[in-house]
Amino acid sequence: MSSHFLGVDWQLVADNHELLLGGLRYSLTLTASSMAFGIVLGCVLALMRLADNALLRNIAASYVNLFRSIPLVLVIFWFYFLLPFFGFKLGPDKSVFITFAIFEAAYYCEIIRAGIQSISRGQVGAAQALGLTYAQSMRYVILPQALRNMLPLLLLQTLVLFQDTSLVTIIGIKDFMGSNVVVASNNGALKEMYTFAALGYFCVCFPLSMALKKLHKRIAVIR
């Protein structure tokens, strides 16, 4: 029986499963760590953008506008190739983690800001009337409600982040895409392995995107 199905040499995949699984684990780990740090930084930036202090608003706005106006691949090059010239030798793994975390923070910031603004300002006034400070109002009243509204978009942006991690291949990191490139190059099987890579990303992203649509509808009904 032929080992080819859907244009993929599955025997070749089986022979290199450790490398491919290792690459997938790297991509998922990079996605999770970058998401966690990016959301925390994005939350700080969102609060700065909503602050009464004009300086804080302008700093956060400049940060967001900068990273939303340049390609991600360029930021990867900045941190990997240019920082060593200034004495900062981070290595590929730390470079891409910092890159994705600070880049995605700009996008998470806007999602979080929109989520906070979706909550009636009257609730802030009500919380403060009960004696809560602004920080306590945000922590106990506004953010929990805003999180429900922005959760689908946060997860959707994380799905985009997972796909974008494939860009680390350009600096030689063996993530899921990079491991497929290695196997394809070593075995002269570009068509087969690139097809397998596409199937792999599809199998991860499509079911999750369908789940996010259902989550969005459920939240809309609750609201």
In this structure, the number of other CB atoms found within 10 A of the CB of residue 90 comes to 15
For residue 142, the model assigns a pLDDT of: 81
**What global pTM score does this model have?**
0.87
**Hey, which CATH number is domain 4-222, 2.40.50.100, 3.40.50.620, 1.10.287.130, 1.10.3720.10?**
1.10.3720.10
Say which range, 97-101, 119-123, 186-190, has the weakest mean pLDDT. Answer: 119-123
| Mean of the per-residue pLDDT values of the chain | 89
pLDDT of residue 129: 78
pLDDT of 43 > 50? The answer is yes
Q: CA of 61: how far to CAs of 98, 109, 111, in Å?
A: 20, 10, 14
